Amino acid sequence: MSYTLFAVRFLLARTAAVIVVVWALVSVIAASRNATMRGTDPVAAFETEFRTLSHALPPSGPVGFLRYEADDDRADRVMTYYVAQYTLAPHVVEKRTDLEFVIVAPDAVRPGVDDRLAGFMPIATSKEGYSVYQRRAP
Amino acid sequence: MRELLALLIPVCAIGVFLDRSARWTSARAAIASLALALCLGIGFSSVVSTGLIVIGIAPTSRAFVLADVAVWVVVGALAWFTRRAAESPEPKAQSPEPRVESREWLLPAAFGVIAIVALVATIAAARAAPHGDWDAWAIWNLHARFLFRGGAGDAWRGFFSIAWSQPDYPLLLPASVARMWAYAGHESTLGPLLIAVGFGIACVTLAVTTIGGRHGWIAGVLMLGATTFLAQVPSQCADVPLACFIVATLAVTFGDILRIPNPESRIPALLAGATSAMAAWTKNEGVVFVLLMFLIAVIVAVRRRDGRQLLWSIAGAAPILIAVVGFKLALAPSSGLVEGQSLTVILTRLMDPDRHMTVLGLIAQQAMRWSAPFAFAVFPIVSLVAAWMAVRIGGVVRVMAIVLGLMLASYYVVYVTTPFDIAWHVSTSIDRLLVQLWPALVLTVVLGLQSSVPSPQSSVSSPRSPIPGLQSSVSSPRSSARRGEPWTKDC
């Protein structure tokens, strides 16, 4: 009787082990497939943009970032701001315009005349239109 | 590939120390020690790097690399010469190696295939996102860039003023990445990836080798099968490193990973102290873990009326805890979770049943989907098995389950008292928090399985604890009775 019990438990343990192995194999194959099919990383593209602007900035000090007029907390816009910070470190990029240098995203500028950029002049622009503005007048 | 050199230098130095301490008596012990040396090497080198930056040696300078190499050469040499002095003419104790049966190769082969596919998935994910996941570049690698680019002056402190980048997070990962870049001479995406993959491999290896035999392979397979865990490895976030330090602490404290013949040896306590403190140096959640492990060490010391192991644990933890406390008190701002929160507000939130219901609902929902679509409720099921084993088997399995349960409870309390939107906070972090506990949970369950299987062909000895207070308590009442041993309830 005890031998039968042992045999049943042994068989159950083997079956459980096989199930775990098959499940794990299917999972890692699926994970591998998903990873190979993943799209390109937007961070790398944004970084290339902001990297072209870094030469226009001084070696240290805070840098401004022009807020988006609407939906400033939208995920893609938050990402743009965060990648600007990631690329331009050790500058601290702050969402304000009372600094000498301000990073401006192309879709953040108000149509027509944007009074937030009064007294600023663009000094560098990336391929996709991201710019560094420098204060020229008080 | 200078990044690889940066990784290997401290690993070799600590490997020599572990060889001296544990005297590798089997391939399993040697591999476990290497995995331990890998995570400890990254951890200790981050403390050294932080120290160098704080005293004004920039990672971009040659002096930084020279100083770092000098530190590790000295550590390695000290360990080597101590080894010579400590060697005795007595033959090394032979550890009982698992008996190899016919078809015993099937499980290792299956694990090997799964591990290779998992590595392919990791590399593919890293190629798709070379800067890591959102939190990796917005927090960890951003801090690393501040340390690397601003290390010449005080500019590296700039990230303390960026509230959204979690400036209170400890520096193990950023300092390690900055150190890699210092060796490479530029900011490569290979550096953080090597660290991430290194921790992932160490995590799985520690569980597999601690358990040993076919149960070890099952643990490795189960761990890698959870796709959320696997996805976190190349993410370059701190959750897998934290998981690695948690599992390393439990393995060293409760397993027989180092196979030290002398049960009174100070080495496991020293290493457990160091790995648990590294958890606190990795991420804030690690502070809870180090406090829990300290509490366990105190309880064991009181029960045994012998505080020597406790003192060795404290000695192992002290250098890293000094760095953690120094960072928290002198450098970092307060955490966003507690800043501006009064005790009254926290208590009010804790007393609010709606908040509890919301958090419970969200956690249950997310936990059921963890590692979906190929796993449904894998984390809750394995947790239930761990709880059942804690009750049925007791001993170290019970202690490990209690530690993990208390960690989960602490996460729950943080969610209930969070100043942020609960739904956002839970949904954006619970997956990673479960990843932190997953390897330790697997270790707990499989150790329990190993000790409860009544197979006469069992190829593995029941797990013993290097802490004598926990020594015999892992056995189940039935298996102990079968061997004619008393079932102790030390834990």
Bridge-partner residues for A65, per DSSP? A103
Residue B488 has pLDDT above 80, yes or no: no
Residue B91 has pLDDT above 50, yes or no: no
pLDDT band at B98 (very low <50, low <70, confident <90, very high): low
CA–CA gap between residue B239 and residue B262 (Å, rounded):
34
Over the stretch B150-209, which tens digit does the pLDDT of each residue have?
977 889 999 999 999 999 999 999 999 999 999 999 999 999 999 999 999 999 999 999
Residue with the bigger pLDDT between B459 and B51: it is B51
pLDDT for B466 equals 44
Cβ count within 10 A of residue B324: 25
Whether B158 and A6 lie within 8 Å, measured CB to CB: no
Whether A38 and B375 lie within 8 Å, measured CB to CB: no
The stretch B465-485 carries a mean pLDDT of: 39
* Least Cα separation, residue A90 to chain B (angstroms): 5
Q: Helices H, strands E: what count in chain B?
A: 20, 0
pLDDT band at B485 (very low <50, low <70, confident <90, very high): very low
pLDDT for B335 equals 77
Q: Which of A13, A23, A36 sits opposite B374 (nearest CB)?
A: A23
Over the stretch A37-67, which tens digit does the pLDDT of each residue have?
888 888 999 999 999 999 999 988 899 999 9
Q: What percent of chain B has pLDDT over 90?
A: 68
Over the stretch A79-118, which tens digit does the pLDDT of each residue have?
999 999 999 999 999 999 999 999 999 888 877 777 888 8
> CB of B180 within 8 A of CB of B145?
no
Q: Which of A6, A26, A32 sits opposite B374 (nearest CB)?
A: A26
Whether B218 and A85 lie within 8 Å, measured CB to CB: no
Which residue of A8, A21, A33, A60 to mutate against B (max B Cβ within 10 Å)?
A21
If you write DSSP's letter for every residue of B396-419 in order, what string do you get? HHHHHHHHHHHHHHHHHHHHHH-S
Contacts of B455 in chain A (CB under 8 A): 6, 10
Residue A19 has pLDDT above 60, yes or no: yes
Cβ count within 10 A of residue A59: 12
* End-to-end Cα, chain B, rounded Å: 48
Q: Which of A32, A36, A86 sits opposite B142 (nearest CB)?
A: A86
Whether B222 and A20 lie within 8 Å, measured CB to CB: yes
The stretch B370-389 carries a mean pLDDT of: 89
Whether A41 and B128 lie within 8 Å, measured CB to CB: yes
The stretch B233-255 carries a mean pLDDT of: 94
Nearest Cα residue in chain B from A39: B128
Q: Which of A35, A39, A86 sits opposite B121 (nearest CB)?
A: A35
Tell me phi and psi for residue B122, to 5 degrees.
Answer: -65, -45
Q: Which of B107, B128, B375 sits opposite A38 (nearest CB)?
A: B128
pLDDT band at B383 (very low <50, low <70, confident <90, very high): very high
Task: Write down the domain spans for chain B.
Answer: 2-80+110-482
pLDDT for B275 equals 96
Structure tokens at B242: 């934290």
pLDDT for B85 equals 47
Mean pLDDT of chain B: 86
Structure tokens at B375: 């796993």
Over the stretch B449-463, which tens digit does the pLDDT of each residue have?
888 765 444 433 444
pLDDT for A137 equals 64
pLDDT for B261 equals 59
Q: How many residues can be counted in chain B?
A: 491
Contacts of B134 in chain A (CB under 8 A): 79
Contacts of A23 in chain B (CB under 8 A): 225, 374-375
Q: Which of B134, B149, B455 sits opposite A10 (nearest CB)?
A: B455
Lowest mean per-residue pLDDT among B33-42, B351-360, B394-403, B478-487: B478-487
pLDDT for B229 equals 95
Lowest mean per-residue pLDDT among A113-117, B34-38, B60-64: A113-117
- b/e per residue, B80-96, with b = 16+ CB within 10 A? eeeeeeeeeeeeeeebe
Contacts of A30 in chain B (CB under 8 A): 227, 373-374
pLDDT for B468 equals 43
CA–CA gap between residue B175 and residue B145 (Å, rounded):
9
pLDDT for B86 equals 52
Contacts of B107 in chain A (CB under 8 A): 17, 21
Cβ-based interface (< 8 Å): residues of A facing B:
6, 9-10, 13, 17, 20-21, 23-32, 34-36, 38-41, 43-44, 47, 60, 79, 82-83, 85-86, 89-92
Is this complex's ipTM strictly greater than 0.90? yes
Over the stretch B307-320, which tens digit does the pLDDT of each residue have?
888 999 999 999 99
